[in-house]
Amino acid sequence: MITIACVLREGGKVGYNATWVEKLQNAVSRNLTVPYRFICLSDCEVPCERIPLDDIGTGWWAKMQLFKPNALTGPTLFFDLDTVIFGDLNPLVEILLEQDRFVMWRDDTINISSSAIMYWNGDYSHIYENYIENANHYHETFSLKNQGLDRQVGDQAVISKIVPHVHINDLIPSEWIRLVSKHDERLDFSNSKIMIFKKVSSKPSTLPNHKIVKAHWN
């Protein structure tokens, strides 16, 4: 059994709401037959099992609550809500279940460890506890206005600095996970499984005619 997790802090610049959770849950159900539990940490009602979010940390900082003591136990695979799943997840999950290390996705466009996709198995509550103890410092140090040459911002900056980790990119074929681009209409995604829409201006909700969004974000 693996837990598939997501986090919804309703609203924000993108306008996230419970329909995004539903679309992600639907995509997982279409593409994963390995026994799993789907759960969302949220500040509003969602169409799945829910863990209420505390008021601690706005925006992306809400993801730190994934690591609250006893919140999630056992192997856990996290997806951001702006992730579109459109291929068989079973081979990916089987590879991750063999890992005894914390796993993050590497954003090769700026060479940082990203929290868009994460996997862990074990007690990582020290991430949450460290964040709570140093929240004001992290909010200032890793804000958009203060990011340095390493482009480290938000929750993923803290997680990647606190936890030794490996990159999912190094465990799987490169074509399994794709980053949305302006060239997608002429690219072949037959061997791909996941597309990440990371920019505020390029989300599934703002690209309704993208071929992957039209076929799979429902």
Tokens of 111: 């060479």
Would you give per-residue pLDDT tens digits along the chain (218 residues)? 999 999 999 888 889 999 999 999 999 999 999 999 999 999 999 999 999 999 887 788 899 999 999 889 899 999 999 999 999 999 999 999 999 999 999 998 888 999 999 999 999 999 999 999 988 888 877 765 655 555 677 789 899 989 999 999 999 999 999 999 989 999 999 999 999 998 888 999 999 999 999 999 99
CA distances from 4 to 21, 26, 128 (A): 11, 12, 19
Q: What is residue 143's predicted lDDT score, i.e. its pLDDT?
A: 63
The full set of domain ranges for the chain reads: 2-216
* Residue in the block written with tokens 């340095």: 148
Question: What DSSP string describes 10-68?
Answer: -BTTTTB-HHHHHHHHHHHHHH--S-EEEEEEESS--SSEEEEPPSSS-GGGGGGGGGS
Please state, in angstroms and rounded to a whole number, the distance separating the CA atoms of residues 204 and 175.
20
* Residue in the block written with tokens 């060479």: 111
Phi, psi of 38 (to 5 degrees): -105, 125
Task: Tell me the Cα Rg of the chain.
Answer: 16
pTM for this model (two decimals): 0.94
Are 169 and 177 contacting, i.e. CB atoms less than 8 angstroms apart? yes
Please state, in angstroms and rounded to a whole number, the distance separating the CA atoms of residues 20 and 23.
5
Residues 6+ apart with CB under 8 A from 35: 1, 2
Say which CATH topology domain 2-216 has.
Spore Coat Polysaccharide Biosynthesis Protein SpsA; Chain A (3.90.550)
Could you give the maximum distance between any two Cα atoms of the chain, in Å?
A: 48
